[in-house]
Structure 1
Amino acid sequence: MVQRNKIALVTGGSRGLGKDMALKLATNGHDVVLTYQSKKDEALEVVRTLEDTGVKAAALQLNVGDTGSFSGFVAAFTDLLQSKFESKGFDHLVNNAGANFQIPSFAATTEEQFDALMNMHFKGVFFLTQQLIPFLNDNGGIVNLSSGLTRITYPGSGAYASMKGAIEVLTKYLAKELGPRGINVNVVAPGAIPTDFSGGRLKSSPEMQQHIIAQTAIPRLGRPEDIGGIVAFLCSPAGAWVTAQRIEASGGLHL
């Protein structure tokens, strides 16, 4: 019997932190399915990069804020598992996809913004995971992405951070419920990393970057590879007994 690679699904895996997660998982020998919302060309370029490492890879379109599209996505995903990966299930789910808005304050947050963040960062994760769990193999795992903003307050981030706080609570409940199947569930909380996330606010502000660095124990900003390696560890045999944990990678911001 030929032993197959483990299979990981990384939502939002076409750019930024998700791209590095996909690359680190591939380096560890995972076949990878990544999702993208609109930039198919970017996603296919990542797929080619992953395949160059010797693993199988594919990309599927997914809007994590649209729960009505999930049944169609799950059908396409399970068809892909059988046709390309010769498998009825997969091993690791990484709930990474999402976005944030530049909102000046709690008082300025609109209901439309609140609902969009809720749909992407909590409701979408909740119900996508629910629909995928029947296809998640025993002894697999789930990694949810949170944020350092659940510990550190920052003006205008109240709605976003609240959704991520909800994800941290959900992670513990999933770990308890799925533990009998040998499935570990953890949450990774990145600190300040200058990507295009949140409109590239940090990436485009040298003043903000220096302010954050000055308050960080390891005095630098984060890099995507600081997060991808943690996700790959949690999806490896070495991390299999780690569950229900919040792992913050922020360089010691605001200790």
Structure 2
Amino acid sequence: MTTIAIVTGASRGLGRSTALAIARHGGDVIITYQTRAEDARSVVADIQAMGRKAVALPLDAGDITGFPSFTEAVKTALRDTWRRDTFDHLVNNAGHGDYAPIAHTTEAQFDRLVNVHFKGVFFLTQALLPHMADGGRIVNLSSGLTRVSFPGYAAYAAVKGAVEVLSHYLAKELGGRGIAVNTVAPGAIETDFGGGAVRDDPQVNGIFAAMTALGRAGLPDDIGPMIASLLGEDHRWVNAQRIEVSGGQGI
């Protein structure tokens, strides 16, 4: 049976690469977007061009009050598009960059990071679990910054660290359903994330390239295919792991 994956924040960057890689592996995808409806439609079209099915749904990953209506939209999409009442894989990718030194981090910045990257992941997963098939997979996105510190990223890295701990507990509590849960921690990637600093600022790009054994910053397609492969049966015994995909950053 064809697998169905939900990939949050898949209108761009790592989420887009992941969704397309899942389709290339023969899976169908429900993608979410917050404001980039046109980009989301483009991803859906690209997936459909591969002969796979895809649906795009709006979601604010930092607003848990919207999760019940999103869950209903997922149920409707599963019924109308796939004639199913469950999906197989969840990739909690949606996020944003908000960086400042500890001395200058505001409560608003801190709260946004917690709401999107941790509270949102916790409660969206909770909301979707009743509709996830036994034997499924969950991948939560973390960051190489939980292992290698870099000034200005303290709050962001801290909430990603919380996600790594959450992944361990999810793996333990969902093991009875045969659901494997892992964390993927990318290094610095050339996207528009965080204002596109790694992609667009040669100085920032050079700093991270110099920190990486392979001598460059990462690209979205260095990450998406790896996540897609982690969802497959070849990795069915990989569980409760933090897998860093950084080209050897900070070694």
Q: What's the RMSD between the two structures over aligned residues?
A: 0.8
The equivalent residue for 2:67 is: 70
The equivalent residue for 1:235 is: 231
Q: Secondary structure at the match of 2:138?
A: strand
1:8 aligns with 2:5: yes
**Distance in 2, Cα, partners of 1:215 & 1:200:** 18
Unaligned runs of 5+ residues in structure 2 are none
Which of the pair is proportionally richer in helix? 2
1:159 aligns with 2:155: yes
Q: Secondary structure at the match of 2:164?
A: helix
**Distance in 1, Cα, partners of 2:115 & 2:210:** 34
**Distance in 1, Cα, partners of 2:143 & 2:34:** 21
Equivalent pairs counted in the alignment come to 251
User: Structure 2-normalised TM-score?
Assistant: 0.98
User: Structure 1-normalised TM-score?
Assistant: 0.97
The equivalent residue for 2:114 is: 118
CA contact (8 A) 1:21 1:229 kept: yes
Within 5 A, what are the aligned runs for 1:76-115? 76-103=73-100, 105-115=101-111
Deviations 1:97-145 (A, max 9, x none): 0101232x10100001100110000000000000100111011100000
Q: Which runs of 4+ in 1 moved over 2 A?
A: none
The equivalent residue for 1:183 is: 179
Unaligned runs of 5+ residues in structure 1 are none
The equivalent residue for 1:251 is: 247
The equivalent residue for 1:144 is: 140
Q: Which amino acid aligns with 2:15?
A: G
CA contact (8 A) 1:32 1:57 kept: yes
**Distance in 1, Cα, partners of 2:166 & 2:130:** 18
Deviation at 1:215, TM superposition (A): 2.1
Segment of structure 1 superposing worse, 221-230 or 159-168: 221-230
The equivalent residue for 1:218 is: 214
CA contact (8 A) 2:99 2:156 kept: no
Q: Which amino acid aligns with 2:71?
A: V
Q: 1:52 aligns with which of 49, 52, 67?
A: 49
CA contact (8 A) 1:101 1:199 kept: no
**Distance in 2, Cα, partners of 1:160 & 1:6:** 32
